[in-house]
Amino acid sequence: MDYTNRIKKSLWLAMLVVCCAVVIPMNPCESSEPTFNFDFDISDPVEFRARIMTINYAKAQLIVGEQTIHVVDLISGEQRFTTTLKNAKDEAVTLELFQKGDLVLVEGLKQPDGSVIAYIIQTLNR
C-alpha cells in the first residue's frame, strides 16, 4: 500500500469537508434581493433634483441629496413597480452609467423610514 498517496487523499478530503462546513452556513451576500415593507397607502410622492453622493451598485441603491434611493423591480399585490433610469436625452440607460456627482431628477415614493423607492431617476447634466 502507498501510505503517502493515502495521506494526501485524506488531507484533501479533510480540507473539502472544512471548506463545506464554512461556506454552506454563510449568510447571503449583500447583492441578494432586498426585501421591502412596501405599501402604496403609506408612501408619499416626492420629486427633487440633487447630486449623487454615493452609489452602491450591488444593492441598487444611491444616496442623492442625503436620502437613500432604491432602484427596484418589484410586485406589490397586483401592481408592478419598476424604476426607470434615463439619461439627459430621455433614453433608457443602466444603473452602471450613473456616477458620483451627477445631477439627477428623482421621482418616487418616500417610505416611513425616510428612504425613497424611485420610479424615475434621470440625469440632468449630460
pLDDT 10s digits, 14-57:
888 877 676 666 555 554 555 556 666 778 899 999 999 999 99
If you search the block for the grid coordinates 401592481, which residue do you land on? Answer: 79
Q: What 3-state DSSP class applies to 96?
A: helix
Q: Give the pLDDT confidence score for residue 78 in this predicted structure.
A: 80
Beta bridge partners of 54: 63
The DSSP call for residue 81 is: E
Whether the CB-CB separation of 110 and 116 falls below 8 Å is answered with: yes
Domains and CATH numbers, the chain: 43-123 (2.40.50.320)
Burial of 66-87, coded b for 16+ CB within 10 Å and e otherwise, reads ebbbbbbebeeeeeebebebeb
pLDDT of residue 44: 87
Pick the more confident residue, 38 or 89.
Answer: 89
Tell me which DSSP letter residue 52 carries.
E
Over the chain, what is the mean pLDDT? Answer: 83
